[in-house]
Amino acid sequence: MTTTEAPPAAPVPPAAEPAPPPRGTPARRRLVPYWLLLPGILWLLVFFALPMVYQASTSVQTGSLEQGFEVTWHFRTYWDALQEYYPQFLRSLLYAGTATVLCLLLGYPLAYLIAFKAGRWRNLLLVLVIAPFFTSFLIRTLAWKTILADGGTVVGVLDSLHVLDVTSWLGWTEGDRVLATPMAVVCGLTYNFLPFMILPLYTSLERVDGRLHEAAGDLYARPFTTFRKVTFPLSMPGVVSGTLLTFIPASGDYVNAELLGSTDTKMVGSVIQTQFLRVLDYPTAAALSFILMAVVLLVVTFYIRRAGTEDLV
Amino acid sequence: MGVLTDTGRWVRRNLVVIGGLLTLGYMIVPNVVVMVFSFNKPEGRFNYSWQRFSLDAWKDPCGVADLCGSLTLSLQIAAWATLGATVLGTMIAFALVRYRFRARGAVNSLIFLPMAMPEVVMAASLLTLFLNLGAQLGFWTVLIAHIMFCLSFVVTAVKARVMSMDPRLEEAARDLYAGPVQTFVRVTLPIAAPGIAAGALLAFALSFDDFIITNFNAGSTVTFPMFVWGSAQRGTPVQINVIGTAMFVVAVLMVVGGQLVSGRRKKTAVR
């Protein structure tokens, strides 16, 4: 059955070189990329990839802090963790998803404004978008405690416009409080990740040739049609990377939920942190963290595939 | 009809402008609040509601125990993490753009994955590694973690710049009998410098402001973000706002100054 093999008598041809390096370089030169890669890749392997293995192993261990943990392939930990903490999981995905949509809706006009309408104010506006970064995000998140304070101006205005009645009915706020409600947490998440949405959007909008707008106008497209058929499709790379850069960190965030929320708005990040640093139940924490990673990777893969095949073409 | 479409266009154009400016306001207001409340004199332990104007905190920014210590520590860690991540990341970026090698796909995924991972997952898994190895949590574990998550961002920033470089410039240098080292130092590095600088700045900002990964791996060491986090439970000193405001002002001045300098350079170059 091995008819494809060359007869042993025939002279063996020299093994095909796998794409010779450019300009007939000596063998030493071929090693250069590996030396360049070695330290950084080693760093990532040891401190990023290897920890994942350790975490996987920790998640199937049983034991206690006093007696030590041992790998017992105790997969029930995953089941138990999910059963106990699925509300926090769903809440994380819901809050992160809502914040991502809000970031897109709020960020797109600003990115569009900077890319097409700003003229000589463009650099100033860009600085203003990046400027908040310069103050530690925890300090800025704490500022929302002042802005959304009970009986403050914002709450007063929302109350008098009967916005709070609607949001309370929807379960986003409670009575005349905004702080310590889901709305405050989503508001904080949206605020914290807006720059991550705006910058990729701006980068891809900036590449759109302004003459395409003129061409669309010459072909009798109304401005909204031009936007829907020309500008928005061309900005899809920015939309995809912006939503990912917002959704991924937001889904694991616990800073906003802890600072602006209450025990009813806890997200899965909080649970992982508490289990790891306070309860010291390492297997449960590792299992939760692993589930979060799997969910995020699944969502991201599914999303990229959808955006890549249907919406981008 | 022409008038109508003109009006429609005018409204639509201004709709985008109004929407954009509202978003900008949403992004700026907290900074303004931080700034205003750095002049507050709160009554209780928390600096959340306005009482009266005072310069006390500005006169004594280090007046709170451990605050300036944590700030110095954060600056130190950020400086070292920037150096480490920039050197390692620049090397990887050059290898990726300039050379052919095996396992390119694997290398690319290894660089992409840390950016596509919720921070808390990296934080927790790194902690399991350190716990299993029995490592002493503190300055070094934080530094290791920071270099790890800054690395990918540096690679991305430098790669973009190196990719857009004209390889003919280096060929020209070699034609003029420059050795490989000379070509790299005199031609390649200066052209790649803006990308490297952008990567380094990003790394510094990411490291200095990181909370989640640091909180997991710092042990009892307290960085500036961890100090702020702790103060949200114990009571927020006004000095936090002073430091936040000072950072903001310094950074904006640096950006504006850089813009002015590069603008002037461009003008002279045109002449």
- For residue B252, the distance in angstroms to the closest alpha carbon of chain A comes to 7
Q: Is residue B18 located within the same domain as residue B117?
A: no
Q: Are A138 and B228 within 8 A, CB to CB?
A: yes
Nearest CB among A39, A58, A140 relative to B91 is that of: A39
What distance in Å separates the CA atoms of residue A83 and residue A81, rounded to the nearest whole number?
5
Q: Are A106 and B23 within 8 A, CB to CB?
A: yes
Q: Is residue B215 located within the same domain as residue B132?
A: yes
pLDDT of residue B253: 86
- For residue A152, the distance in angstroms to the closest alpha carbon of chain B comes to 9
pTM: 0.86
Q: Is residue B215 located within the same domain as residue B152?
A: yes
Which residue segment(s) compose the domain that B175 sits in? 65-236
Q: Is residue B139 located within the same domain as residue B7?
A: no
Q: Are B119 and A132 within 8 A, CB to CB?
A: no
pLDDT of residue A11: 43
- For residue A105, the distance in angstroms to the closest alpha carbon of chain B comes to 10
Contacts of A149 in chain B (CB under 8 A): 48-49
Contacts of B224 in chain A (CB under 8 A): 136
Q: Are A43 and B19 within 8 A, CB to CB?
A: no
DSSP string, B255-270: HHHHHHHHHHHHHHHH
pLDDT of residue B12: 67
Per-residue model confidence as pLDDT tens digits over B185-233: 888 889 899 899 989 998 999 999 999 999 999 999 999 999 999 999 8
Residue B252 lies in a domain: no
Average pLDDT, chain B: 89
For residue B105, what is the domain's CATH number? Answer: 1.10.3720.10
Q: Residue A50 CA to chain centroid, in angstroms?
A: 22
Nearest CB among B48, B147, B209 relative to A145 is that of: B48
Both tokens of B232, joined, read: 């949200």
pLDDT of residue A5: 41
Low-confidence ranges of chain A (pLDDT < 50): 1-22, 24, 309-313
pLDDT of B167 strictly over 70? yes
Residue B271 lies in a domain: no
Residue B214 lies in a domain: yes
Q: Are A136 and B116 within 8 A, CB to CB?
A: no
Q: Is residue B83 located within the same domain as residue B185?
A: yes
Nearest residue in A to B180, CA atom: A29
pLDDT of residue B267: 64
pLDDT of residue B89: 96
Contacts of A130 in chain B (CB under 8 A): 255
Q: Is residue B232 located within the same domain as residue B122?
A: yes
pLDDT of residue B270: 54
Q: Is residue B214 located within the same domain as residue B230?
A: yes
Q: Which of B203, B205, B65, B61 is nearest to A136 (CA)?
A: B205
- For residue A226, the distance in angstroms to the closest alpha carbon of chain B comes to 12
Q: Is residue B208 located within the same domain as residue B137?
A: yes
pLDDT of B64 strictly over 90? no
The residues, any chain, with a CB within 8 Å of residue B104's CB and separated by 6 or more, are: B96
Q: Is residue B94 located within the same domain as residue B45?
A: no
Contacts of B117 in chain A (CB under 8 A): 248, 293, 296
Q: Give the confidence band of B37 by pLDDT, cuts at 50, 70, 90.
A: very high
Q: Is residue B43 located within the same domain as residue B99?
A: no
Domain boundary (B12, B38, B57) is at B57
- For residue B128, the distance in angstroms to the closest alpha carbon of chain A comes to 6
Total structural domains in chain B?
A: 2
Domains in chain A, CATH or no CATH each: 94-267 (1.10.3720.10)
Residue B35 lies in a domain: yes
pLDDT of residue B84: 97
Contacts of A253 in chain B (CB under 8 A): 118-120, 212
SS3 letters for chain A? CCCCCCCCCCCCCCCCCCCCCCCCCCHHHHCHHHHHHHHHHHHHHHHHHHHHHHHHHHHCEEEECCCEEEECCCCHHHHHHHHHHHHHHHHHHHHHHHHHHHHHHHHHHHHHHHHHHCHHHHHHHHHHHHHHHHCCHHHHHHHHHHHCCCCCHHHHHHHHCCHHHHHHHHCCCECCECCCCHHHHHHHHHHHHHHHHHHHHHHHHHCCCHHHHHHHHHCCCCHHHHHHHHHHHHCHHHHHHHHHHHHHHHHHCCHHHHHHCCHHHCCHHHHHHHHHHHHCCHHHHHHHHHHHHHHHHHHHHHHHHHHHHHHCC
Residue B93 lies in a domain: yes
- For residue A239, the distance in angstroms to the closest alpha carbon of chain B comes to 16
pLDDT of residue B268: 65
Q: Is residue B146 located within the same domain as residue B33?
A: no
Q: Are B20 and A110 within 8 A, CB to CB?
A: yes
Q: Is residue B8 located within the same domain as residue B100?
A: no
